[in-house]
Structure 1
Amino acid sequence: MIGKIHSYESMGLVDGPGIRFVVFFQGCKLRCAYCHNPDTWDFNKGEEVTENELIKKVLRFKPYFQKSDGGVTCSGGEPLMQPEFLIEFLKLCKKNGIHTAIDTAGFGKGLYEEILKYTDLVILDVKHVNGIGYKKLTGGNIKEFETFQKALLKANVKLWIRHVVVPGITDSKEHLYKLKKVIKGFKNVEKIELLPYHSLGVSKYKTMGISYNLDMVKPMSKERAMELEEYLKIV
Structure 2
Amino acid sequence: MTPLLPTASVLPTPACGPVPAAATPAAAATRREVVGSVHSWDLSTGVDGPGTRFVTFLSGCPLTCLYCHNPDTWRMRDGKRTTADEIVVEARKYTRFIAAAGGGATISGGEPLLQPVFTGELLHRFKHELGLHTALDTSGFLGVRATDALLRDTDLVLLDIKSWDPATYRKVTGRPLQPTLVFARRLADLGKEVHVRFVLVPGLTDAPANIDGVAAFAASLGNVTRVDVLPFHKLGEAKWQALGRPFVLHDTPAPTAEQTAAARNIFESHGLRAV
TM range (shorter): over 0.9
**Counterpart in 2 of 1:111?**
145
Tell me, what secondary structure is at the counterpart of 2:76?
coil
Residue 224 of structure 1, CA deviation: 2.5
**Counterpart in 1 of 2:113?**
80
**Counterpart in 1 of 2:158?**
123
Q: Distance in 2 between matches of 1:192 and 1:10?
A: 22
Q: Radius of gyration: which is bigger?
A: 2
**Counterpart in 1 of 2:202?**
167
Residue pairs, 1:207-222, within 5 angstroms: 207-222=242-257
Residue 233 of structure 1, CA deviation: 1.4
Q: Distance in 2 between matches of 1:110 and 1:232?
A: 27
Tell me, what secondary structure is at the counterpart of 2:221?
coil
**Counterpart in 1 of 2:6?**
none
Residue 231 of structure 1, CA deviation: 3.0
Residue 3 of structure 1, CA deviation: 0.6
Question: Could you report, residue by residue, the CA deviation over 1:50-93 in whole angstroms, capped at 9, with x for unpaired residues?
Answer: 12221111111111101112110111111111111111111111
**Counterpart in 1 of 2:28?**
none
Q: Distance in 1 between matches of 2:44 and 2:253?
A: 30
- After superposition, the CA RMSD in angstroms is 1.6
Contact 1:20 1:71 (C-alpha < 8 Å) held by counterparts? yes
**Counterpart in 1 of 2:13?**
none
Instruction: Find 1:26's aligned residue among 59, 64, 78.
Output: 59
- Residue 186 and residue 82 in structure 1: after superposition, are their counterparts in 2 closer, same or farther (change >3 A)? same
Residue 28 of structure 1, CA deviation: 0.5
Tell me, what secondary structure is at the counterpart of 1:31?
coil
Whichever residue aligns with residue 90 of structure 2, its letter is K
| Higher deviation after alignment, 70-79 or 124-133 | 124-133
| Higher deviation after alignment, 108-117 or 98-107 | 108-117
Whichever residue aligns with residue 167 of structure 1, its letter is P
Percent sequence identity over matched residues?
A: 35
The answer to whether 1:12 aligns with 2:48 is: no
**Counterpart in 2 of 1:201?**
236
- Residue 76 and residue 172 in structure 1: after superposition, are their counterparts in 2 closer, same or farther (change >3 A)? same
Q: Distance in 1 between matches of 2:103 and 2:200?
A: 27
Whichever residue aligns with residue 160 of structure 2, its letter is D
**Counterpart in 2 of 1:146?**
181
Tell me, what secondary structure is at the counterpart of 1:21?
strand
**Counterpart in 2 of 1:69?**
102
The answer to whether 1:95 aligns with 2:128 is: yes
**Counterpart in 2 of 1:184?**
219
Number of aligned positions between the proteins? 235
Structure 1 spans left out of the alignment, 5+ residues:
none
Whichever residue aligns with residue 219 of structure 2, its letter is K
Contact 1:4 1:47 (C-alpha < 8 Å) held by counterparts? yes
Residue 109 of structure 1, CA deviation: 6.3
Q: Distance in 1 between matches of 2:158 and 2:44?
A: 17
Q: Distance in 2 between matches of 1:47 and 1:233?
A: 41
Structure 2 spans left out of the alignment, 5+ residues:
1-33, 271-275
Question: Could you report, residue by residue, the CA deviation over 1:77-135 in whole angstroms, capped at 9, with x for unpaired residues?
Answer: 11111111111111111212111001111122633233211100111111111322211
